[in-house]
Structure 1
Amino acid sequence: MADSLIKLSFQDGTLIVAAPADTDLPLSDHCQYDERIHAWRAEAMAYATVVRLLHTRQVAYDDQARGYDKLALQLNAGPEPRDYQRDALHAWVQADCRGVVVLPTGTGKSFVAQLAIARASRTTLVVVPTLDLMEQWASQLAAAFGQDIGLLGGGSKDIRDLTVSTYDSAAIMMEFIGKRFGLLVVDECHHLPGPAYQLLARFTIAPFRLGLTATPERNDGADEVLDELLGTICFRRDIDEMEGAVLSPYRTERVGVTLDPDEAEEYAATRAVYVNFLRAQRINLASAQGWSQFLIACARQRGGREALRAFLRQRHIAQAGRAKLRQIWELLQEHHGERVLIFTADNQTAYEIGQRFVLPVITHHTKIAERRELLGAFRAGELPVLVTSKVLNEGVDVPEASVGIVVSGSGSIREHVQRLGRILRPVAGKQAVLYELISADTAECYVSNRRRQHRAYERPDSLSH
């Protein structure tokens, strides 16, 4: 092989292009010349672009970067794809097998991924945010393709032709294994723009990429980086478009509750302390750095600790006042016999509700084995009500749930849509309802308006009372 032949290699999450610094190829559009090794270097994800450039220019090259293989994959007999799933696959293929598919929870995003894996027929890495989802995906892929599935995460480092990894493990390991996969599937890909998680996409050469999510938008606007890491949104359907035929029919209700007089008085007093401190320090919490500035000021300025305590107390009163607890009991009685998920913004409130009503609680502190046991009992109807803070917001399959009660939450649109999605998986005869409890005349009203800015809530039956 001639010494002048261009060579591609993979090194620590980067692509090395062995070509002269004065090459006629426009490598500077995608790479930087590294004087230390006398070669061009780029993030590994530039592999497909560089190979395409070499093909276009009809330049011979020695590809030592590619470590993935073609596979003879065949989906086992199962349900026929729905029309929208076929359309999603077609759109992804038309986009050169790169892009993000946006589908609501419960509409079979994972089945679209199976179709894509079969279509690409390359060694594949599926990345998921939690260990629970890792096991769920591995089980589904094993059944779909009839082969053992590799696991990366939770103590496992078993890499196979089809492998499922957690985000954390993939981000740590990708600089070593980034050449081994031709297809990268990223579930719940709205997490990917995080600075550390981006590395798992940047450090792999995988030319084929598929992102899956129900809610791609992020409050920080970082979702735009998904275009670079995975490709643009190539197919999208929202909750209201899928209702009835694919998802259960649903309604949403905002239920206003009035604080008890003593709580209203304490709320006003503590909020005044907190707001006056913000004004004195000229801090605008709506700004990008507002919260950090508030915490720094609380640590350094006179009256800061009192202001922080006041903030936490007024928030807790609004999020978990006695009137809300009474409303929860009324709703549990109204929906007796149905499967109910109760969502809170924090663990403390979840445990308070669990203790008051003698209900099981799942938080991030709950051991995996206990979580499985509780979810199994919920699905079987032995425990018809579960209380959770945030761990059930995404990725958990509970089609039996038909009622959601949002006691408190953040202003995140994604979180609110995810909570709605938890109760929409189709079951014959099911009518889903999501209640949102709002303490009247508190900051919760503003938070609620922010998180409801999604088409899933722009409906005539999205009631307030």
Structure 2
Amino acid sequence: MTDERASGETGGESHQPDDQAAEADDETAEETEDEREDDRLTLADFHDASQEAGRPVLTAAAVARTLEIPSEKARDALADLAGRGDVERLSVETDPVVWYPSELEDLTDRERVVVFPKRREVIVDRPDQFTRAQLSQFAHLADGNGEQGYRYVVRPEDIWQAPHDSFDTLARTMRQALGQRSEALEDWVHSQWDRAHQFRLTTHEEGYTVLEAKSPEIMGNVARQKLDEEHVHAPISDTEDWVREGSEAAIKRLLYEAGYPVQDHRDLESGEDLPIDLEISLRDYQRTWVDRFAEGGEGVFVGPPGSGKTIAAMGAMAHVGGETLVLVPSRDLARQWADAIEEYTSLEPHQIGQYHGGRKQVRPVTIATYQIAGMDRHRSLFDDREWGLVVFDECQHVPSDVYRRSTHLQSRHRLGLSASPIREDDRQTEIFTLVGPPIGTDWEALFEAGFVAEPELEIRYVPWGDEGQRNAYASADGQERYRIAAKNRGKVDDVRYLLSAHPDAKALVFVDYLEQGRDLAAALDVPFLSGETPHHERRRLLEEFRRNERDLLVISRVGDEGIDLPTADLAIVASGLGGSRRQGTQRAGRTMRPAGGALVYVLATRGTREEDFARKQLQHLGRKGMTIREQTVETSGESDGSDADE
């Protein structure tokens, strides 16, 4: 080895001539001491170069090439890092001097943030809690499995609902999260911020609603192109239109779809005062949800089942302090809400009413079903009362034609709750125009903090249990093929096997078909809970399950939403894979509670379309941070021992 290489020089390189070095010194002499300090190579810069090169050991020439700095500067900077103990250097017989971090594990342990401005994506490896919290204010967690980093996407709606009073404060949050300034991304975010402040609804002094635009151009080129006499009576000025009563929601939806969310500043009635004290402490993230809601007066709490959205909603009720209407999909859920409000708030039973097929009570806090609230003969009861807050539970239903009639009920504050605000008809944006913007915490953060147990999800590919069914599947087509595969009798044996493998578990077995549910219930000698089960019987079975007097139930789609089973620690999905992604979330969510050890098994008939349905239905859960395994069952109840993590 030559002395040149031992001293840190790379092969084929030489020092600059003295006059060039002197010229360089003259050029840098004008820099201030602070500028020289900022220009100094850091260990983070070395890591950036290392990631770009794809290896942890680099030559000075590689560092210079990757960071686009002169070789001489790279050599001096590396020597400076070595002097501080950040990197080590190693002389190799046939190669130049190479450099590597003093703590190699730092390469894998450190947080790294990479921004892709054109795609409006941010990839974060090992993000800490602060970074996650900052990112959640302007970006959507699109993939949280952690294997290839956490992928955040900055969407228009994320900027439109960002909890900031000015673009400058939003930009400051972005720079804190990204650790850098991305000028291209900030320019796009600024344009979206401006879009979100072009229109607003206000109340005229004479009581009617006015649509205001920031300029005559935006009113003429956007609003008056999208709206017609069905929505507005007539122009008031170049920037104002007189809104027809009852068309506010439609206006907000149309302009939202055009890329211009409307700020709702109407003077809506707030109802009678109703002091409410919350008699349970909110977790930090729940408090953040309530604070975000309080800033805008509307929103949708988005979080996994078991994250306490109902408790957070009661926190919002306490903040509003007014009469409240809670809309729910089922009478079972209405009863659960009434019990929870009585238990966790200062309200007395006589202040809480239920309005559905079983009861007809309108009180300061009323829990009603969507169907009842949307019926003409009942709506006047709700319209005549001035509500300070309307809560839309399981608000992913709101865009449907039956449920959206309930959104015509106006109040100063509107709050939605949903574990999975996605719809197979792609109308989920209507949720946020009809109710409010999304407010939530990424699921992975709740898993790591221990607030919600991450269930283990396993897709099991089950063989046919009946040759006749296999032949029928082969000769069938369309929906009939799916039905035959879903009702594969081989699943009965696998359900038995899984239950025997977890003898102490409290288990739920989900099915989509009544005939299959009855057969499974008979084979297991347990009750089958379906829509045909009388309400009093359904309530009794669920109470027995909660009190640990019963440890196994077979449940139809009635269990997908509106039933709280907090002690379930094992779920087996025997059929239902052709359902929605939301259904997959709800069924997996029956095990998402603070207690650990939750398991979810999804059974799919091997070699059929159920395999694809299973993967597609659960893939969005994988993106939220859950680990999903796949297992092939060779014979009834036995696996081949191999699994693959998605």
- Which bin holds the TM-score, normalised by the shorter protein? 0.7 to 0.9
- Which of the residues 75, 87, 93 maps onto 2:277? 75
Alpha-carbon contact 1:239-1:456 (below 8 Å) kept: no
Is it true that 1:454 corresponds to 2:620 in the alignment? yes
Seen in structure 2, the aligned counterparts of structure 1 residues 336 and 23 have a Cα distance that, compared at 3 Å, is same
Render the CA deviation track for 1:261-285: whole Å, top value 9, x for unaligned.
62464144322xx26xxxxxxxxxx
Task: Give secondary structure in 2 for the equivalent of 1:326.
Answer: helix
Distance 1:42 1:328, change over 3 A: closer
Give 2:56's aligned residue: none
CA root-mean-square deviation: 2.8
SS in 2 for 1:139: helix
Deviations along 1:400-432, whole A, 9 cap, x unmatched?
A: 2101101111341110111111012223xx300
Q: Specify the code of the residue in structure 2 equivalent to 1:247.
A: V
Residues 374, 50 of structure 1: alpha-carbon distance in 2 compared, 3 angstrom cutoff: closer
CA offsets per residue over residues 188-230 of structure 1, 9 Å max, x none?
A: 100111112111112x221211000000011101111112211
Q: Show CA shifts across 1:132-184 (max 9, x none).
A: 11111112223313232122212433222211111111112335532521211
Cα pair distance change 1:411/1:449, threshold 3 Å: farther
Which residue identity is paired with 1:337? D
Correspondence list, 1:365-380, <5 A: 365-380=532-547
Find the counterpart in structure 2 of residue 102 from structure 1: 302
In structure 2, give the amino acid aligned to 1:111. Answer: I
AA partner of residue 555 (structure 2): T
Please state how far the C-alpha of 1:26 moved relative to its aligned partner: 5.6
Which residue number corresponds to residue 136 of structure 1?
A: 336
Give how far 1:368 is off.
1.1
The equivalent of 2:326 in structure 1 is 126
Pairs within 5 Å for 1:182-221: 182-202=388-408, 204-221=409-426
- Tell me what 1:332 maps to: 499
Q: 2:355 aligns with which of 134, 152, 163?
A: 152
* 2:585 counterpart residue number: 417
Amino acid at match of 1:142: E
For 1:458 and 1:149, locate their aligned partners in 2 and report how far apart those are by CA, in whole Å: 36
- 5 Å-filtered alignment, 1:223-262, equals 223-233=428-438, 235-243=439-447, 245-260=450-465, 262=467
Partner of 1:270: 475
Structure 1 residues 261 and 385: CA distance shift in structure 2, 3 A = closer
Cα distance change of structure 1 residues 264 and 129 upon mapping to structure 2, 3 Å threshold: closer
Q: RCO higher in 1 or 2 (8 Å CA, sep ≥ 6)?
A: 1
1:358 pairs with 2:560: no
Residue-pair matches, total:
389
Instruction: Report the CA distance shift for 1:91/1:206 in structure 2 as closer, same or farther (over 3 A).
Output: same
Q: CA deviation at 1:317?
A: 3.0
Q: TM-score, normalised by structure 2?
A: 0.56
Secondary structure of the equivalent of 2:619?
coil
Normalized against structure 1, the TM-score is what? 0.77
Contact between 2:464 and 2:490, CA under 8 Å: does it hold in 1?
A: yes
1:71 and 1:123 in contact (8 A); partners too = yes
Q: Secondary structure at the match of 1:404?
A: strand
Segments of 5+ residues of structure 1 without an aligned counterpart are 10-18, 33-40, 56-64, 276-310
Q: Within 1, Cα distance between the matches of 2:357 and 2:313?
A: 23
1:339–1:402 Cα contact (<8 Å) kept: yes
Q: What secondary structure does 2:342 align onto? A: helix
Partner Cα distance (2:292, 2:319) in 1:
13
Structure 1 residues 82 and 322: alpha-carbon distance in aligned structure 2, compared to 1, 3 A threshold: same
Equivalent-residue separation in structure 2 for 1:88 and 1:329 (angstroms): 42
Contact 1:126/1:164, CA 8 A, preserved across alignment: yes
Residue identity matched to 1:157:
K
Secondary structure in structure 1 of the residue aligned to 2:401: coil
User: Is 2:629 the partner of 1:463?
Assistant: yes
**Residue of structure 2 equivalent to 1:441:** 607
Please, which of 371, 374, 380 is the counterpart of residue 168 of structure 1?
Answer: 371
- Counterparts of 1:97 and 1:444, CA distance in 2: 43
Please tell me whether the aligned partners of residues 45 and 207 of structure 1 are also in contact (alpha carbons under 8 angstroms): no
Task: State the alpha-carbon separation in 1 of the partners of residues 591 and 551 from structure 2.
Answer: 13
Note the C-alpha offset of 1:332.
Answer: 1.1
1:277-292 aligned within 5 A: none
Amino acid at match of 2:613: V
CA pair 315-152 structure 1, distance change in 2 beyond 3 A: same
Percent identity of equivalent pairs: 28
Q: Distance in 2 between matches of 1:47 and 1:411?
A: 32
The answer as to whether partners of 1:44 and 1:205 remain within 8 angstroms in 2 is no
Residue identity opposite 2:495 in structure 1: I
Query: d(CA) in 2 for partners of 1:252 and 1:51?
Result: 42
Separation in structure 1 between the aligned mates of residue 518 and residue 233 of structure 2, nearest angstrom: 64
Q: Would the alpha carbon gap of residues 451 and 93 (structure 1) be closer, same or farther in structure 2, given more than 3 Å must change?
A: same
CA–CA distance in 2 between the matches of 1:382 and 1:253? 28
Change (3 A) 1:456 1:83: farther
**Partner of 2:160 in structure 1?**
none
Residue by residue over 1:80-111, the C-alpha shift from the partner in whole angstroms, topping out at 9 and shown as x without a partner, is: 110010010111122x2111110111111111
Q: 1:322: how far off?
A: 2.5
Cα distance in 2, alignment partners of residues 397 and 51 from structure 1: 34
- What does residue 12 of structure 1 align with? none
What is the rounded CA distance, in whole Å, between the counterparts of 1:22 and 1:319 in structure 2? Answer: 58
Whole-Å separation in 2 of the counterparts to 1:452 and 1:355? 29
Worse overlay, 142-151 or 406-415:
142-151
The 3 A distance-change label for structure 1 pair 265 and 157 is closer
Contact 1:101–1:213 (8 Å) recurs in 2: yes
Report if the CA contact (8 A) 2:461-2:611 is conserved: no
Q: Indicate the larger mover: 145-154 or 249-258.
A: 145-154
Task: Report the structure number with the largest CA radius of gyration.
Answer: 2
- 1:117-137 Cα offsets, whole Å, 9 max, x none, are 111122211111110111111
Amino acid corresponding to residue 81 of structure 1 in structure 2: L
Tell me which of 271, 274, 287 is aligned to 1:86: 287
Structure 2: 5+ residue runs without aligned partners?
1-203, 210-231, 253-261, 632-646
Change (3 A) 1:265 1:149: closer
Equivalent in the alignment of 1:301: none
C-alpha deviations, 1:353-397, integer Å up to 9, x for none?
011221111001111111111112222333211001111112222
Whole-angstrom CA distance in 2 between matches of 1:128 and 1:228:
19
Alpha-carbon spacing, 1:375–1:417, altered in 2? closer, same or farther (3 Å): same
- Amino acid in the other structure paired with 2:589: G
